[in-house]
Amino acid sequence: MNLAGSGRCCTTVLRMAKDGQDPGVTLRCGLIAEWLRLWLTSPQHHVQWSKAWYVLRRGLSRLSVKQRWRQVAGTISAVICTLLDLEWLPHSPHRWTDPEGCRWCIKVGSTDLGIIMHHFRVYEEARLWKQAQRHHLGTGLDEPPDFSMYRRHRRTLVAKGQFAEAACSDTIVAGASWTGLRRRDAGDICGIACPRCGCADESGQHRVWQCTDVGGDALLSDRGELAAQSVQGCISHPSLWLRGLPPQSWFGPPDAPDDVGQVVTVGSWVHESGRTGDDGRALTLFLDGSGLGDSYFARRCGWACACMLYDGSNDVVGDVVGFDGGECGTLPGPLQSVFRAELYAVLRALMHVGDKGHRPSGQ
C-alpha cells in the first residue's frame, strides 16, 4: 500500500499493514525483554550492574528526553531512558514502578516474563494511541482501535478487483482525507465549498454524512438513519464516524463469570454399581466443542462431556446402553475457537476422572 503520503497517521498506517506491528512497540518491548532475560540468566553480575544502574539513573533522570538519549552509550542507559520515556520509575535493574503505581520486582527463578511484558506492551500501545489522538480526526483513539472490519472490507474489494475503492478505503482509515476545510487550515489557498453539491463548506462530516451528491439514492437511503446521530458522533468520536475505527474494547467477548466459565453438571460421572470404571474397565466418554459466529470478536464457543454406560459384554467398552452424566459449559477467556473448546472438553474430562483414579488408555 502506498501510505507514505502527506496527512496520514503513522501509528494507524503501521497497524493497517498485514502484520500490524508498530516498531515503536516492538523495539522497546524487545529491548526490555532482552534486559530481563540477561538479568535472570546472569546473577553473577547483579552487584556490578546495580551499582552502574544507580549512577546512570541519577544522572539521566535530571535531563530532558533529548538530552537523555544523547548520553546513552550502553544497554543499561538505553533501558533506563526507555523506562523514563514511558513514565516508568526505574528504581533498580529489577525493581520498577509502572505509571499506575504498581511495583514490579523481577526475581530469579520466580518471575514470569510473559506477564510483565504483556503489561509493558499494553502501556506502550496505549501511549502511542494517545499520541495518535492529536492527528486529524483522531479524537476517540485514546485506546487501540479494531482493524478487523477494515481488513475484511479491503479483502472483499481486492477480491472483486475494485482496487480504486480499496485505495480509497486505505486513505480514509489512515486519516488522509483532505477536505476543503482541512486544506484551508493547512494554509492552502483554495475554495472550501463542496465540489460536488456546492451547498456547504466541505468538512469531513459534510463529505460523509451530509452531501447529497454521493452517487445515487441507494446510498442516501442507507445512511439516512445514521445521519442524525452523526452530528454528535462526529464531535465525540470522529475516528469512528469519519474514519471507521471503532475502539477495540467494543468487540472483545464478555468476561466469564468465573475462572471456569459457566458449567452445568448433569447426573453422576461414576455409577454406583461399578459398571463405568470401578471394575477396572474403561470409561466411555464423548467430548465435543462448537462455536457460533463467523468473526473472532463475535464468536462464542461451548463444550460438553458425556459419560455413557455399557452392558459389559465386551472386555473393552461394550455396547452403550445409557447415559450416566456429564458436563457442559461456555469456553472461558477472550480467545474463542472451536479447537480450544474441544481441548477444554478433554481437560475437563481428565480433571474429573483423575479424581477417581482413572487414567486415559489412549483409545
Taking the chain (363 residues) in runs of 10, the rounded mean pLDDT of each run is 61 76 85 91 91 92 87 91 90 90 81 78 85 87 84 90 90 88 84 84 85 63 72 87 86 52 68 44 78 72 82 54 79 83 88 61 51
Residues in contact with 235: Cβ distance below 8 Å, sequence separation at least 6, in sequence order: none
- What is the pLDDT at residue 274? 39
- What is the pLDDT at residue 321? 62
CA–CA gap between residue 313 and residue 275 (Å, rounded):
11
| CA nearest neighbour of 120 among 145, 95, 99 | 99
CA angle 223/229/235 to nearest 5° reads 115
- Contact yes or no for 204/238 (Cβ under 8 A): yes
- Contact yes or no for 203/220 (Cβ under 8 A): no
- Contact yes or no for 150/16 (Cβ under 8 A): yes
Residue for grid cell 477467556 = 333
* 3-class DSSP assignment, residue 283: coil
Query: Which residues make beta-bridge pairs with 265?
Result: 327
* 3-class DSSP assignment, residue 97: strand
- What is the pLDDT at residue 289? 93
Tell me the backbone φ, ψ of residue 282, rounded to 5 degrees: -80, 145
The answer to whether the Cα torsion of 216, 227, 238, 181 is positive or negative is positive
- What is the pLDDT at residue 215? 61
- What is the pLDDT at residue 89? 92
State in Å, rounded, how far the first CA of the chain is from the last one: 51
Residues in the chain: 363
State pTM to two decimals. 0.64
- What is the pLDDT at residue 157? 92
- What is the pLDDT at residue 223? 67
- What is the pLDDT at residue 313? 52
- What is the pLDDT at residue 222? 63
- Contact yes or no for 59/80 (Cβ under 8 A): no
Tell me the backbone φ, ψ of residue 242, rounded to 5 degrees: -115, -10
- What is the pLDDT at residue 1? 40
- All 3 cell numbers of residue 262? 459457566
**152, amino acid identity:** R
- All 3 cell numbers of residue 54? 544507580
- What is the pLDDT at residue 3? 42
- What is the pLDDT at residue 57? 92
